[in-house]
Structure 1
Amino acid sequence: MPEYLHSPMETRTDINVTNKSPSFGSLLQWSQWQLLDSILPTGGFAHSFGLEAAVQARIVSGPEDLRTYVIHLLENTGSLLLPFIYSGTISPDMQTWHRLDKMLEATLTNEVGRKASISQGSALMRVASAVFSEIPSLKIMRETSLATGSVAFHHAPIFGLVCGLLGFDCEISQKAYMFITMRDIISAATRLNLVGPLGAAVLQHQIALVAEDLSNKWMNRKVEDACQTAPLLDTVQGCHGYLFSRLFSS
């Protein structure tokens, strides 16, 4: 039978027989992409990073205000959280993770943001330990930590831990965290009708240049150097729980 008359099932069988098994490194690369995929159910889209409260407080009322808010949020993320991503990536072990978690628990003063960090971190650890089965230590660390109750499961240290175990280098892991923060805040802006889907895509592309500069500015710092650069954002997010009606959890 001519090759072009083969059925799809026959062709698929031939491919499965002839292809070589993928290497462990290749599988890790697919896992790295999946970690950054918005479809991964880690709960990031349930939070607005204080944007909803800022809208109701009239701090953000238009495209320029939104752009400024996103940039300040990225600056604050870089200064406060990238040190935890960096340390978690270069030392992806349970002892380092627990130490970073306790330090971040003591550093966060905003109760709304603290609960959001724990919610997202718990979801990320649960999903990562179930999905990335090629790294059994994730499941072991999660089960051990749940049994002892010794950590709060904050998001940034867990993200750094997972990135380190998935083979990210420290530069990529820190930029990846900035990327998902930018992605999630602009998604929140879209659902709050501050910008349309096309405008959101344009805004994300434009702010990527700023995000690159901010990432480089705050990259590879020790957790002892973590700090707030935009305290107003922290204050506004803390007001989220007082909103009469709200779409997001934080």
Structure 2
Amino acid sequence: MEIDDKGTDNNERTADHLLQWTQWQLLDSILPTGGFAHSYGLEAAIQARIVSSPQNLKSFIIQVLENTATLLLPFVHCANKSPDIDNYAKLDKLLEATLTNEVGRKASASQGAALLRVAASVFSEAPLLRKIRESFMGSREVSFHHAPVFGLICGLTGFDSGTSQRAYMFITMRDVISAATRLNLVGPLGASVLQHEIAPVAEETVRRWMDRSVEEAFQTAPLLDTVQGCHSYLFSRLFCS
């Protein structure tokens, strides 16, 4: 075993560095998980004139992040802490019963199924992902909701719970801001500035709501939930949700 000047096992350092590559890949927008097909209710909010300017957009994103933290981070956390089939199935069924609007529920299942399909193919070091997908694919036992799938993948690939929850908040923020750019509400440069401005708020939100059990999950923004539920009634739409 090789030890560096600081007394660190070189094999351990290599494993840590490889984990970082996995983290970056999981967060990379090139991973085909279908997240950019959804606006998290933003498209419906624009047509309802709830969001009409970059200022409204910032407030909307912060509310989405707050709602994500209180409602979905518990599922990410619990799936990450116990990444096994039984716990995953239990969390998925509970989230299926918890999500209150059909549009959001279908979007969560669609993104989760796509993420699990990709992860089962890419992260071969976690064979349980393929086993779970093969066990439940085509059945109605689970719906493959996104939050528990994400937590499961993070747990099986070596992410700690704190990193997993921050990562989930990051991809939520990234996808909403991407949707805002494609809806011409903000330009690419403005979107980057906005993301940087919201990051401290997102961190404070994570700190406030992280590491909670699923029994403590709840919604903080019922209006957003209602607006997203109206998405399927829009006369014309760019996004799935």
CA distance in 2, matches of 1:128, 1:137: 11
Q: How does 1:189-200 map to 2 (within 5 A)?
A: 189-200=180-191
Deviations 1:19-58 (A, max 9, x none): x9x9555433322210111100000000000000000000
**Aligned AA for 1:136?**
P
Conserved? CA contact 2:125–2:157, under 8 Å: no
CA distance in 2, matches of 1:150, 1:57: 36
Change (3 A) 1:140 1:23: farther
Q: How does 1:138-177 map to 2 (within 5 A)?
A: 138-146=129-137, 148-177=139-168
Q: Does 1:110 align with 2:87?
A: no
**Offset at residue 140 of structure 1 (A):** 1.0
Match of 1:8 in 2: none
CA distance in 2, matches of 1:67, 1:25: 35
241, 245, 249: which one aligns with 2:232: 241
CA distance in 2, matches of 1:203, 1:25: 31
Change (3 A) 1:112 1:158: same
**Offset at residue 135 of structure 1 (A):** 1.4
**Aligned AA for 1:107?**
T
Match of 1:223 in 2: 214
Paired residue secondary structure (1:181): helix
**Offset at residue 147 of structure 1 (A):** 5.5
CA distance in 1, matches of 2:127, 2:196: 36
134, 153, 171: which one aligns with 1:180: 171
Match of 1:86 in 2: 77
**Offset at residue 163 of structure 1 (A):** 0.4
Match of 1:126 in 2: 117
Q: Give unmatched runs, 5+ long, in structure 2.
A: 1-10
Larger Rg: 1
CA distance in 1, matches of 2:67, 2:134: 32
Q: Give unmatched runs, 5+ long, in structure 1.
A: 1-19
**Aligned AA for 2:172?**
T
Paired residue secondary structure (1:214): helix
Give TM-score scaled by structure 2 length: 0.93
Match of 1:41 in 2: 32
57, 68, 76: which one aligns with 2:48: 57
Match of 1:27 in 2: 18
Q: Does 1:208 align with 2:193?
A: no
Paired residue secondary structure (2:125): coil
Give TM-score scaled by structure 1 length: 0.89
221, 232, 248: which one aligns with 2:223: 232
CA distance in 2, matches of 1:242, 1:138: 35
